[in-house]
Amino acid sequence: MSFRASVKRVLYGLYTRRLAKRLAGIAGPRHVGMIIDGNRRWAEQQAGVSVAEGHRAGAAKMREFLTWCDEAGVEVVTLYLLSTDNLTGRPSEELKNLVRIIADLATDLAAVPNWRVHHVGDATRLPAPLRNALERASQVTETHTGLHVNLAVGYGGRHEITVAVHDIIREHEAAGKGIDTLADDITLDNIADHLYTAGQPDLDLVIRTSGEQRISDFMLWQTAHSELYFVEALGPDLREIDFLRALRDFASRQRRYGK
């Protein structure tokens, strides 16, 4: 490492610690969403690096990101790893690699002491190895009380809301109620209780990497009042200072909730 690079690393570390100290004691987000993006572009910019290696680098960064969230006192983090659109829109070989990478990430996260791993998404649309890995991670961590990690895999916001309404209708029918009272069951609270995130706080802050500024069907219901923060860095290049700046930006905003 060159002298200039060494100095830069030292200064970066000092700045990171100073900003973290400044944020200590300031009310932060309870629930953070991460739309990890740019893994393929990152791989294309590296000499001799495959797309699969780009996705694996992105997954490793998400493990690091969760540690930053835990240290900052965040209660719930939702990682958007694989959308319902990805299941049909990605090349088959890339999708196979993603399935293995996400399964490995779920297993790795389940081994972290006291973290709770929870799958959000349509498990029926996933390949069996990935579905099984997510189920195991959820089962072995279900009694943990630390950082709650939602893995959004095979997830789509519109699909989630549609499934929630279908479930409400089925429950209504099973209870022997008539169509004339069905509208009474379609309420904001009842829909929220039938989402994958039932019982969890809505997202306070959503971060997206790679400079893209869109939601991409992520948690459409739960992000109704979320603050959005877009980072230019590609997924694997995300730094702790980027995360801390997002927290600083969140703390500076006035959340009016329509008032």
Q: Are 231 and 238 in contact (CB under 8 A)?
A: yes
**Which segment of 8-17, 89-98, 218-227, 236-245 scores lowest on mean pLDDT?**
8-17
Read off the pLDDT of each residue in 52-74 and give the average, rounded to a whole number. 97
Q: Given a cut of 90, is residue 238 above it in pLDDT? A: yes
Please report the pLDDT score of residue 35 as a whole number.
98
Read off the pLDDT of each residue in 9-30 and give the average, rounded to a whole number. 81
Please report the pLDDT score of residue 88 as a whole number.
86
Q: Given a cut of 80, is residue 255 above it in pLDDT? A: no
Read off the pLDDT of each residue in 45-69 and give the average, rounded to a whole number. 96
Instruction: Report which of 244, 255, 240 is spatially closest to residue 65, judged by C-alpha positions.
Output: 240
Please report the pLDDT score of residue 21 as a whole number.
82
What secondary structure does DSSP assign to 157-214, as a single string? Answer: HHHHHHHHHHHHHHHHHHTT--GGGHHHH--HHHHHHTSTTTTSPPPSEEEE-TT---
Structure confidence at residue 28 as a pLDDT band (50, 70, 90): very high
Q: Is 37 a catalytic residue?
A: yes
| Longest CA span, the chain | 76
**Which segment of 23-32, 37-46, 99-108, 222-231 scores lowest on mean pLDDT?**
23-32
Please report the pLDDT score of residue 163 as a whole number.
97
For 181-217, what is each residue's pLDDT tens digit? 999 999 999 999 999 999 999 999 999 999 999 999 9
Q: Given a cut of 70, is residue 236 above it in pLDDT? A: yes
Top pLDDT among 7 and 129 is at 129
The set of residues, in sequence order, having a beta carbon less than 8 Å from that of 118 and lying 6+ positions away, is 138, 148, 149, 150, 151
Read off the pLDDT of each residue in 163-176 and give the average, rounded to a whole number. 96
Catalytic residue among 37, 122, 202, 204: 37
Q: Is 86 a catalytic residue?
A: yes
What is the reported pTM?
0.93
Q: Given a cut of 90, is residue 27 above it in pLDDT? A: no
Q: Given a cut of 90, is residue 108 above it in pLDDT? A: yes
For 116-155, what is each residue's pLDDT tens digit? 999 999 999 999 999 999 999 999 999 999 999 999 999 9
Q: What percent of the chain clears pLDDT 70, i.e. is strictly above it?
A: 95
Read off the pLDDT of each residue in 217-229 and give the average, rounded to a whole number. 97
Rounded to the nearest integer, the mean pLDDT of the chain is: 93
Q: What's the CATH code, domain 28-252?
A: 3.40.1180.10
The residue behind tokens 């095979």 is 154
C-alpha angle 135-118-122 in degrees, rounded to nearest 5: 70
Catalytic residue among 39, 70, 85, 86: 86
Q: Given a cut of 70, is residue 162 above it in pLDDT? A: yes
Structure confidence at residue 218 as a pLDDT band (50, 70, 90): very high
